[in-house]
Every structure is written in structure tokens, then in C-alpha cells.
A and B are shown apart, each in its own frame.
Chain A
Amino acid sequence: MNLADIINPNNLVYEKPKLLTENTMHYCPGCSHGVVHKLLAEVILDLDIQEKTIGVSPVGCAVFAYNYIEIDWQEAAHGRAPAVATGIARCNPDKVVFTYQGDGDLASIGAAEILHACNRGENIVVIFVNNGIYGMTGGQMAPTTLIGQVTATTPNGRDAGRNGYPLKITELIAQLPGTSYVTRQSVHTPASIRKCKKAISKAFQAAIDKKGTSFVEVVSTCNMNWKLSPVKANEWMVDNMFPFYQPGDLKDSTKTDPASYTPLKN
């Protein structure tokens, strides 16, 4: 059998999801953002909710996310995506609303917005891409930067005495009664990508079912500012990020109605 016989539409098993636009992504080669975008496109297609999904894009490298996934979008000011999403979700209860945020956006300047949106149990999905650094602005320390990690603003490595401690904001968020599903995933191997897709799908289903806030952290790489090749960046992430940001579900009450609070019935 020759190649021409195999390369035939009848034998197609994987192609670019139809919800991704023809635009070439502006991300650096090997950036995790591209994989997360692809999973979002696949999940939205699988759930057949493209006509009613509204994304809120952040300030950070993913600021142009709206150029890549063919749904409705709103760009928010730095860190304010959860507040913007709150307004959209409350005014449009028939829509499925999600924010897409980096760790600088979500855990630093937008820490108040995310904590209160999650504590209110807004019916939104939060996609949190944690690459431990401010990617867009040239690799400054983020709240999530690990102890000892070298960044543009911690040239000798993050020092707890001077720079404080890395923030496990996902663990904080899992404590809040407004959240129903809180998970930490990654997209560095085929298996982890398939698992992450299931998690994103579950999070969107929870929003459709009005279960309150669902939160998916994706431990990610910023190979450009980590100054590593994409392959080495994934290895560095596994060796250094995973021991601190351990992948897995932190909370799942999507099946049971949490008795301790009343989610917004909007």
C-alpha cells in the first residue's frame, strides 16, 4: 500500500478542529497556549455550543485568543476577565461563558476578581494557564514563580525572603463554596492532553448545568522566557513545577449538589 492510498479522506483520523480559524497563532514555537486553544475548540465543537459560547480573553500572551477560536469574545482589562464574565453570564443566562487567563493576569493583578467571582459561584468556566512567569512582557516574576526560579526580575532566582512565596491559588479557590469543579492539568504529552480535554469538557458541562464556577488550571511552559527549547521546557516543567503544582482534581462536586451553599440559579 502506498502513501497515496493511505492519505485519503476516508482514512482521516485527526485534523485541525474546524472551530480554529485560518489565522496563524502568534505564539512562540511550542507554546502551551496553542494546545490549550486547540482543546477548547474541540470541546466547544463536541458539546455543540459554538453558537452560545462567549470567551473573555486576558491581557498576557493570550490577549489575541479571539483571533483563533470562531466564537464570540470580549477582551477584558488586565485581570478583570472574571468580573467581565460575571456581567456577561448574568445578563445572558442562556450563554456559556468562560475566561482564559494567565498566571500574572489571574493570580497577580486579578487576584481579587478571580477569588470573588469563584466565591460568588458565578456560572463561568475559568481556564488558567500557569506558566510561572509573565510571558508577554518579557519574563518577569509572577506570583506563581517557583522558589529559586530565574526570571528577568529575579536574576539570582526567586528568594522567599525578598520576593515572597509562590502562590497556589488553585488550592485557595478549591476552598471556596462557589466552585464545583477545580482541577489541575497539563498539556505536555498525548496522554495528558487527552486528560486535559476531558477536564475542560467536564468544566463546560458544569457551567451548562449551572453548577457554579469550574476552574481548570493548566500547568504550562513558556519556553521563550524560561530560555529552554520546547522539549526541554516540558521536561523542566515535569521536574520542577509538578512537585509543587501537583496535577489532579482538587475538588469535584459536579455530581452532588453542594448543600453548604446555593449556586446562582441564573
Chain B
Amino acid sequence: MAKVIGAVVVDNEECKGCGLCVVACPQDALSQNKQVNGRGYHYSFMKNPQACIGCSNCATVCPDSCIVVYRVKINEVRTEPVLVS
């Protein structure tokens, strides 16, 4: 079965730390950084990168278009032996 893995890249300096992406993520993959960026905003980051499925919800809701989303499909490795006749 194919599985999807995603990753997002946040433009740390463009992010205004509004938090809308954090609540839009169905996987709880994002959080706001305790540190602030150059403009004083608690920018968003992937606190749980393994959880991301690349659904783009976070980027869709971002008013400042500062999230880029990537997604790959991988085929899970078959563990059981395959019968060949």
C-alpha cells in the first residue's frame, strides 16, 4: 500500500506567528517557536516532522503565504514472502 510522507518549509522571517497554520494541521505537526524572528513574531515550525502528510492545510490558511509543502508517495516494503507459481 502506498503511504504519503510530507514536509513543510516555513519562511521564518515572513511568518507573522498568527498561529492559524498550527490549528489547521490535522496531524499536530506544527507549533509556534518560543524564539522570535527578526520582526518579533513566534514563527511556526515543524515540532513533529514525522507526522506531516503533506496535505497543505497549513499553507492554504496562511495569510502571508509563507509555507511551502512537499509530499512523496512511498510503497511500503513487503514483509511477507510472495508466492511465484
Q: Are B61 and A14 in contact (CB under 8 A)?
A: no
CB-based contact B70/A25 at 8 Å: no
Interface 1/0s, chain B 10-21, versus A by CB < 8 A? 000010111110
For chain B, give the interface size range. Answer: 20 to 34
On whether A32 and B63 interact (CB within 8 A), knowing A5-B72, A7-B70, A230-B20, the answer reads: yes
In the bound complex, CA of A237 to CA of B20 (Å): 14
A33 at interface (Cβ–Cβ under 8 A)?
Answer: yes
Main secondary structure of the interface of B (DSSP, over half): mixed
Neighbour of A1 across the interface among B18, B19, B63, B72, CB < 8 A: B72
Known: A25-B63, A38-B63, A189-B24. A3 touches B7 (CB 8 A): yes
Binding site for B on A (CB under 8 A): 1, 3, 5-8, 11-17, 20, 24-25, 27-35, 38, 187-190, 193-194, 229-231, 234
Other than the known A14-B69, A190-B24, what 20 A-B pairs have Cβ atoms closer than 8 Å? A6-B5, A6-B6, A6-B71, A11-B54, A11-B71, A11-B72, A12-B69, A13-B71, A15-B69, A25-B64, A28-B16, A29-B41, A34-B63, A34-B64, A34-B65, A35-B63, A38-B65, A230-B18, A230-B20, A234-B20
Binding site for A on B (CB under 8 A): 5-7, 9, 14, 16-20, 23-24, 41, 49, 54-57, 59-72, 74
